[in-house]
Amino acid sequence: MSFFRKLATKPWLEQDTADNPRPADIVPAETAKVGLFVFLAVITFLFFLFFVAIHMRADYEDWVALSEPSLLWVNTLLLILSSVAMQGARSASRKGETNAVKVNVTVGGLLTIIFLLGQLFIWRQLVDDGHYASSNPANAAFYLLTFVHGAHMLGGLWVLGKVGFGLWVGRRVGGVALSVELCTTYWHYLLLVWLVIFGLLLSTSVSYTHLTLPTILLV
């Protein structure tokens, strides 16, 4: 039995002893971080399958591709700024600056919401112009990638909203430090995924050049 007990030990985790007490919040923090990275690994594999399928499908003659979608540039900038705001929240959290965390979390969330609204606006314009998912495989790929990415951003917003609400009702930064850390990692990851998606859309060729910033201002 002692042999199996030794196999079950985890030497990479500190043992809780009288001489070396282990803080109660370390295990949940480690568990949460491992859980997030496992989740990100699953998402990475999912998008990898999408990218491989799109790369293979784009070789067929019926694939009609994207060319410099101007609105997507604006949305990309919004997502970059939201990621910067989340990084500011993480830095402020490590310094114990509750107000700075509150502001950065709020700004990051609002920019992300605007990003998602921008994606919906592009969808509406494409549908109005007859670019249905069923009319072209490149259209279907665009809708699929942006939908899956947007769905993951919505999930992140739900968690971030709980964090922001807690801060605005008076919760101290120490109580949400781990959540801010995980949300920031998640935001950076989804930004990286979006940059890959954006690059893929630009490298393949549907003409969405009419979706420019002035068009937004007319809505």
pLDDT for the residue numbered 5: 54
Work out the percent of the chain whose per-residue pLDDT is above 90. 35
pLDDT for the residue numbered 31: 83
30: Cβ contacts below 8 Å, ≥ 6 apart = 13
- What b-and-e string marks burial along 131-166, b requiring 16 or more CB atoms within 10 Å of the CB? bebeebbbbebbbebbebbbebbeebbeebeebbeb
**Domain segments of the chain: what residues?**
25-217
Give burial (CB, 10 Å; 0-12/13-18/19+) of 36.
middle
Instruction: Using DSSP, state whether 217 is helix, strand or coil.
Output: helix
What CA–CA distance (Å, rounded) separates 54 from 202? 13
Domain at 25-217, CATH homologous superfamily: Cytochrome c oxidase, subunit III, four-helix bundle (1.20.120.80)
What CA–CA distance (Å, rounded) separates 84 from 82? 5
What CA–CA distance (Å, rounded) separates 16 from 37? 25
Could you list the pLDDT tens digit for every one of the 219 residues in the chain?
454 454 444 433 434 444 444 444 444 777 888 888 898 999 999 988 888 887 777 777 767 665 556 788 899 999 999 999 999 999 999 998 888 999 999 999 999 999 999 999 988 888 887 777 777 887 788 888 899 999 999 999 999 999 888 888 877 777 788 889 999 999 999 999 999 888 877 765 444 444 444 333 333
Query: Which pLDDT tens digit goes with each residue over 34-81?
Result: 888 898 999 999 988 888 887 777 777 767 665 556 788 899 999 999
- What b-and-e string marks burial along 41-70, b requiring 16 or more CB atoms within 10 Å of the CB? eebeeebeebeeebeeebeeeebebbeebb
* Mean residue pLDDT across the chain: 78
Residue among 144, 85, 93, 141 at smallest CA distance from 114: 85
